[in-house]
Structure 1
């Protein structure tokens, strides 16, 4: 991710309704949420939500897919990953002991599965 894409993504999240919506979409992965439901959950009119979704889609943070009469929105976790990695690039000057608590804080909900013991 380059500097311009990073600024665009961060500015898309720098508004309360969009930040709330993005967090809802992340929590709803991988199923996504219909636009009307997002408007209801965020307690905003549908046309207002449409404008917010457009801004986030243009920043690359979310994707959409038409399903029948609904448009389902999902967080683009790969773009979000690239954003976070860009921000953390060269974290702590490469000092692993300083970075370890930060990395641990970033992974509380999704612990990595332990490798299966080798049977050889």
Structure 2
């Protein structure tokens, strides 16, 4: 039994560490623009345009779900509140008590999660196929 659990654990770790469509280093760690990201990751076109700075961008694809995360460092809180305000007009529904927004278009579920703290705005964009 212990061997099976260990083998299963190793398989999951190998899957998580090796299923990325693109290498994390494909997007430079320096600043980029929203337009550049949309050209690289077309699913981002389903989200409102982000006007802030894109820094430390990371991409992952796991089990068919694509995710792009990045930060806007050293920004005013108004950057986050202005961005959050773009989601309702774009057809997203806000989850109660959090900054999680979702929208379904056809067979795709778009999810945005954001968080602001200590002058840093963290943004995560995901798309999953039903």
Task: Give TM-score, length-normalised by structure 1.
Answer: 0.29
Rg: which structure is higher? 1
Structure with the largest fraction of strand: 2
Task: Give TM-score, length-normalised by structure 2.
Answer: 0.27
Structure with the largest fraction of helix: 1
RCO higher in structure (CA 8 A, sep ≥6): 1
